[in-house]
Chain A
Amino acid sequence: MIILLLFGISETFSQQCEANLKGEIIDFHDGTPLVGATVILLKDGTPSKSVITDLEGKFSIKNICIGTYEIEVSHPECKSKIVPVEIEGNTFKKVRLEHHLEKLGEVVVTGDNGRQVAETVNSQSLKAAELVQFSDATLGDALREISGVSSLNTGSTIVKPIIQGLNSSRILIITNNVRLQDQEWGIEHAPNVDLNTADRLTVVKGSGALQYGGDAIGGIVLAKPRRLANHDTIFGKTILSASSNGRGGSITSSLDKGFDNGLGVRVQGTYKKFGDFRAPDYFLTNTGTEQKSFSVNLGINKFQYGAELFYSYFDTAIGILRAADFGNITDLVRAINSPVPAFTDDFSYTINPPRQEVSHHLLKASAFVRLERFGKISLQYAFQFNDRQEFDNRRGEDDGIPIVDLELTTHNLDLVVETHPTKDLEVTAGVSAIYQENFADPLTGVRRVIPDYEKYGIGVFGGLAFNFNESLLLDLGARVDYTNIDAEKFYRTSFFESRGYDVDFADIVVQDFGTQLLTNPQFDYTNLSATVGLNYKIKEDLELLFNYGLASRPPNPSELFSEGLNQSSAAFELGDLRIDTEISNKLSFSFQGRALDKRLNFNLTPYANFISDFIVLEPTGVLATSRGTFQVFEYLQNDATLYGVDVDATYDLNEQFSFKTSFSYLRGQDTERDQPIINIPQTNWFNTLSYKNEKWKNLQLSLKSEAFFRQNRFPDNNFIAQVVENNEFVDVLVDVSTPPPGYHLLHFDSSVQFKFGGTDMELGFSVENIFNTNYRQYLNRFRLFADDLGRNFTLRLKFNY
């Protein structure tokens, strides 16, 4: 969609430095003039003159010397574009900028880092203005605003995004151009990202960002910070937020300083603290959270070159619902059958065990050069260190020692080359290398859930985008990845044998310790991924996107090696050395356009994802121990198909009122066993009525209705357990499968903007779950034990200075 066509008309004019450049910047979609677009005249990459377009989208730059120039055109709602211009005399230039379908948040990410995402995949964004109301929430909470995105929760504080039905290792999370490596494999491992570092969050509903990896079977989340300032300026932003539920809030601040030599600095930090949250009828004991994060960004941005140094630190402590912490199946049955959780206490800020403490460090150094008549070359190195500790109620002096302590260190090196051989062809290619090391601290005194391992990988990718004409774009890409995992794992001898590993994997045994065996499993994977897409502008107001994506994902360490008790589910989670790569073939279409005098904007996205050897964690039986019996979950591979549709539409009733609707339906089927796939998001339908009045301090009011239908398609994983009742053993059916009923929630949000002593301020007030409705969410693992969150009032104040 970077179709940008120029109609240059030049007149000959003899004087040397008296030429005038006039022009017009218009919206590619409808030809309307773009007011307030910045036009910068660049001579050899250095800005020489800058103007802003007038009410008719026109601009004029006077007294230009004859020569070759470039103009950089930017507009807040558009992608910036650099266009070559030959000044031989008075010149007129008309530039069509790709103006986003604003109302839908329908945005394709390109910007200064070039084409990262295939422009034929449906992607949707949340911008800074929308992110403000999530400053005290998690990444997963914010992303739910986008149709087709739901979340897999462990309580209310551990929120993992699901894109079109898929989560965890099937979603790449990219923060500031770095792929997050934060032990994302676990269901109860939430992304370690401070939402407040992002200026824009984009969800790509497909695998079309091969630059970041070929394994995005579910999709990609891009959290992109604002560009650093590159001229003399200083500005900052602070958001304060206070909420009634959890009796906490957050403060986040950022300060930017720019210099005329192109240097820019940003420091940013967030502190967040909540106590126990509350369901409508009781406190959810031990669900408090605390988060501290901090980042510094230093960079120089010129047209011809640039470099950036970025460091971020993220630290969080999350309480796990006390009522979900128990021992064996007897305890599970008690917890499920208890209408009110067995442990509900008065409000407290204390985060007792069970809890998680996770810290994440990210250091990035990157640089680019733009070479004349060639393109752009970028190099990036990133270092990440993720330390995850899980605490539980232990006997004796062990109480302060974690039961899980995993340290994951990752180094990434990426080289990307972007070039434009012709004006209609854009080629991107690159190499990326990864080295990763996991260290599981033996001092926990608990056998490692994930073993020590080393992982090497190298990927080579290439892609091109070709504009056939103004209305047809073709997108092609391919990537090959080689991955090697070298682990050192202790197996229980009895487990090793019961799995038949002593036959199939006898050669991996390094040393026999009697009841345990030290093994050295090593695996190699070579994976291919590819994308083909078309972007066809059927007519002025209607566009069709088609994309086919092939994505391959080698198993993650959890799927291969996991062996241990999962907190809060009375279940053992067992990996399998025989698990192999899963491969997805995804077809997606997207119809987007406008109608009814451009007052209606719509976006219809049907898709089908055919996954061979889809890896799922499923209950396979029970295990008897001295602690009683436990459910056993194993990773299995079966072919699966997911298909669904996401629909978005907005309608402007008049200047003040607008209506927005979004609907998502998804069906997941295990085609080998002919049964539904577990944990597929239920159908949902959101409707929002908004009022805005620019004359009254930009007043915005909105009422949002969220309807979640019951998930009627689920695999039956119920099982029979023997429990004691009235001094007899009785068999009871443990219902861990049946989804909860559907529910409806109503939310209110409002804001006003005003100036206070020269500072731009925004005051917001919102109410979530207005009617304090009791509900349980199918994709919340704690739905068996407690209700979800009750009513919440939030007051927030944003300052720009």
Chain B
Amino acid sequence: MKTIKLLSLSMLVLFIASCSSDDDGGPQIVNEEEVITTLTLTLSPQAGGADIVFTSRDLDADGPNPPTVTVADLAPNTTYTGVVQVLNETENPAEDITEEVEEEDDEHQFFYQVIGNAAVTTAYTDQDGDGNPVGIQITLTTGDASTGNLVVTLRHQLDKNAAGVSDGDITNAGGDTDVEVTFPVTIQ
């Protein structure tokens, strides 16, 4: 009986002791490390002239606000050198995630899909270690005045050897989508 009494008492003490938790001054804030908030496509006319910048920015990332898209008109029958950059702007200073994509370039690829009547063609100008395109650097060529959309997609862990993928056809690429933004395109 005595031992049981002691046992139960000591358990009670243990219980109460464990309940009085240590206050550590609140939890630490987490800024999403991996999220891509911003995609910027900078297009420089090969013949010279001012850069044209397309930006999709979603500062609340997975929050309720949709991305804000800013674009500028493209000139007809012009070839642009394009460079894409992806950023995490929830961190301060913003983290350039393009660098991580470059480090794992065999696992990543950007795709550029032209939707509707926009007279736009794109071509990859960079390669990963296996000779497959990555799509950070491209050329973008316009035709006559027209409008449409350009969908820029970044896929992770895709199959770069599937049919058409190295030519920029996303159909058989598989993998997970890391970025998918739509830019309205006006050529005039």
Cα-based distance from A331 to B14 in the complex (angstroms) = 51
Q: Which residues of B contact A116 (CB under 8 A)?
A: none
A445 near B30 with CB under 8 A, answer yes
- Knowing A442-B27, A628-B177, the reply to whether A724 touches B56 (Cβ < 8 A) is no
- In the complex, B161 has a CB within 8 A of chain A: no
Distance of A643 Cα from B27 Cα, bound (Å): 44
CB distance from A444 to the nearest CB of B (A): 7
Are A327 and B177 in contact, CB atoms less than 8 angstroms apart?
Answer: yes
B-binding segment of A92-100, A449-457, A586-594: A449-457
Interface string of A373-416 (1 = CB under 8 A from B): 00000010101000000000111101000000000000101000
Please give, as numbers and ranges, the residues of chain B lying within 8 Å of A433 by CB-CB distance. 15
Task: Determine the residue in chain A with the shortest Cβ distance to B56.
Answer: A626
- Proximity bits, A710-728, B CB within 8 Å = 1, else 0: 0000000000000010011
Selected from A334, A456, A624, the residue in CB contact (under 8 A) with B19 is A456
Chain A residues with CB below 8 A from B67, complex form: 624-626
* Min C-beta distance of A436 to chain B, whole Å: 10
Q: Which residues of B contact A565 (CB under 8 A)?
A: 62
> Once bound together, how far apart are the Cα atoms of A727 and B170, in whole Å?
11
Question: How many of chain A's residues touch chain B, expressed as a range?
Answer: 35 or more
Q: Which of B132-162 contact A (CB under 8 A)?
A: 149, 151, 153, 156-157
Q: What residues of B have a CB within 8 angstroms of the CB of A624 in the complex?
A: 58, 66-67
B residues 45-99 touching A (CB-CB < 8 Å):
56-67, 90, 97
A706 interface residue per 8 A CB criterion: no
Contact: B180 with A328, CB < 8 Å?
yes
Q: A492–B61 Cα gap in the complex (Å)? A: 9
Known: A330-B180, A379-B8, A627-B36. A727 touches B104 (CB 8 A): no
Shortest distance from the beta carbon of A389 to any chain B beta carbon, whole Å: 16
Given A367-B7, A395-B97, A729-B149, CB of A627 within 8 Å of CB of B177:
yes
- Is B163 among interface residues, defined by CB-CB distance under 8 A? no
Most interface-central of B26, B31, B35, B177 (chain A CB within 10 A): B177
Residues on the A chain within 8 Å of B97, using CB: 395
Q: Which residue of A lies closest to B65 (CB)?
A: A494
List CB contacts (< 8 Å) of A415-448 with chain B.
433, 435, 437, 440, 442, 444-448
Q: Is the CB of B65 within 8 A of A326?
A: no
Contact partners of B4 in chain A: CB under 8 A: 305, 307, 367, 369
Q: Is the CB of A724 within 8 A of B26?
A: no
B residues near A365, Cβ cutoff 8 Å? 7, 11
Q: A343 contacts which chain B residues (CB < 8 A)?
A: 174
Is B167 in contact with chain A by the CB < 8 A criterion?
A: no
Assuming the contacts A305-B4, A626-B179, A626-B181, asked whether A398 and B28 have C-beta atoms less than 8 A apart, the reply is: no
Give residues 474-530 of A contacting B (CB, 8 Å): 488, 490, 492-495, 498, 510-511, 513, 515-516, 518
Which residue of chain B is the closest to A495 with respect to CB atoms?
B63
A451 to B60, CA, bound (A): 19
Whether A342 sits at the interface, judged by CB under 8 Å, is yes
In the complex, the answer to whether B180 meets A729 with C-beta atoms within 8 Å is: no
B123: interface (CB < 8 Å): no
Residues of A within 8 A of B19 (CB): 411, 435, 456
Q: Which of B37, B149, B176 has the most CB of A within 10 A?
A: B176
Most B CB contacts (10 A, CB to CB) among A395, A396, A488 go to: A395
Q: Check B126 for interface membership: any CB of A closer than 8 A.
A: no
Q: Are A393 and B176 in contact (CB under 8 A)?
A: yes
Complex CA–CA separation, A442 to B115 (angstroms): 41
* Count of CB-CB pairs between chains A and B under 8 Å: 163
Instruction: List A contacts of B180 (CB < 8 A).
Output: 327-328, 330, 626-628
Give CA–CA (A448, B103) in the complex, Å: 27
Q: Are B178 and A518 in contact (CB under 8 A)?
A: no
Bound: A729/B184 CA distance, A? 12
Contact A442 B33 (CB under 8 A): no
Q: How far is the CA of A724 from the CA of B36 in the complex (A)?
A: 22
Distance from B144 Cβ to chain A, minimum over Cβ atoms (Å):
17
Contacts A413-B11, A451-B27 given; indicate if A395 touches B177 (C-beta within 8 A).
no
A325: contacting residue among B61, B113, B176, CB under 8 A: B176
- Those of A151-195 within 8 Å (CB) of chain B: none
Q: Which of B1-55 contact A (CB under 8 A)?
A: 1, 4, 7-8, 11-12, 14-15, 18-19, 21, 26-39
Q: Is A572 an interface residue (CB 8 A)?
A: yes
Determine if B115 and A729 form an interchain contact, defined as CB atoms under 8 angstroms apart. yes
A257 to chain B, nearest CB (A): 22
Q: A331-B177, A626-B61 are in contact. Are A413 and B115 (CB under 8 A)?
A: no
* A17, CB-defined interface residue at 8 Å: no
Contact B104 A396 (CB under 8 A): yes
Choose among B15, B116, B153 the residue that contacts A727 (Cβ–Cβ < 8 A): B116
Known: A437-B21, A627-B36. A444 touches B30 (CB 8 A): yes
Minimal beta-carbon separation of A592 from chain B (angstroms): 40
Cα separation A676 to B88 with both chains bound (whole Å) = 42
Q: Is the CB of B15 within 8 A of A435?
A: yes
> Are the C-beta atoms of A445 and B33 separated by less than 8 Å?
yes
Q: Is the CB of A728 within 8 A of B115?
A: yes
Contact of A367 among B8, B114, B181 (CB under 8 A): B8
Residues in A with CB closer than 8 Å to B115 are 724, 727-729
How far apart are the CA atoms of A278 and B59 in the complex, in Å?
Answer: 43
C-alpha spacing A396/B38, complex, angstroms: 19
Please tell me if the beta carbons of B18 and A435 are within 8 angstroms of each other in the complex: yes
- CB contact between B34 and one of A440, A446, A623 (< 8 Å): that residue: A446
Partner of A326, one of B56, B151, B177: B177
Q: Say yes or no: A510-B26 contact (C-beta < 8 A), given A330-B177, A411-B18, A627-B179.
A: yes
**Measured CA separation A729–B180 after assembly (Å):** 14
Choice from B14, B58, B103, B153 contacting A625 with Cβ under 8 Å: B58
> Considering only CB atoms, which chain B residue lies closest to A325 in the complex?
B176
CB nearest to A439 among chain B residues: B27
Residues of B near A342 (CB, < 8 A) are 174
Report if A395-B32 is in contact (Cβ < 8 Å); known contacts: A331-B176, A488-B27. no
Known A-B contacts A411-B15, A444-B30; A626 and B63 likewise in contact (beta carbons under 8 Å): no
Fill in one digit per residue for A324-356: 1 if any B CB lies within 8 Å of its CB, else 0.
Answer: 011110110010000000110000000000000
Q: How far does the Cβ of B104 sit from chain A's closest Cβ, in whole Å?
A: 6
Chain B residues with CB under 8 A of A328: 177, 180
Given contacts A381-B15, A395-B104, A627-B179, contact A495 B64 (CB under 8 A): yes
Which residues of the partner chain B approach A623 to less than 8 Å between Cβ atoms? 62, 64
Residues in B neighbouring A326, C-beta threshold 8 A: 176-177
Q: Compute how far the CA of A624 lies from the CA of B57 in the bound complex, rounded to whole angstroms.
A: 11
In the complex the two chains form, is A454's CB within 8 Å of B21's CB? yes
Query: CB < 8 Å: which of A444, A626, A724 contacts B37?
Result: A626
A447 contact set on B, CB distance < 8 A: 30, 32
User: When A395-B156, A490-B27, A727-B113 are in contact, do A413 and B36 touch as well, CB less than 8 Å?
Assistant: no
What's the Cα separation between A628 and B151 when bound, in Å?
Answer: 10
List of B residues within 8 angstroms of A493 by Cβ: 60
Q: Given that A395-B156, A435-B18 are known contacts, is A379 also in contact with B29, CB under 8 Å in the complex?
A: no
Residues of A within 8 A of B18 (CB): 383, 411, 435
Give B157's nearest chain A residue, CB to CB: A393
* Shortest Cβ distance from residue B81 to the other chain A in the assembled complex, whole angstroms: 24
Chain A residues with CB under 8 A of B100: 395-396
Instruction: Report the Cα distance A727→B28, complex, angstroms.
Output: 46
Q: In the complex, what residues of A have CB within 8 A of residue B64's CB?
A: 494-495, 498, 623
Q: List the A residue with the shortest CB-CB distance to B151.
A: A724
Q: Which 4 A-B pairs have the closest CB atoms?
A: A628-B180, A445-B33, A327-B177, A624-B66
27 of the cross-chain contacts (CB-CB < 8 Å) are A307-B4, A365-B7, A365-B11, A367-B4, A369-B1, A395-B97, A396-B104, A411-B19, A444-B30, A447-B32, A448-B27, A490-B29, A492-B61, A495-B60, A495-B63, A498-B64, A498-B65, A518-B26, A518-B29, A623-B64, A625-B67, A627-B177, A627-B179, A628-B177, A630-B62, A724-B151, A727-B113
* Sample of 10 further A-B pairs with CB below 8 A, known A442-B28, A515-B59, A626-B39: A381-B11, A398-B33, A435-B19, A445-B34, A447-B30, A448-B27, A495-B60, A518-B29, A724-B113, A724-B151
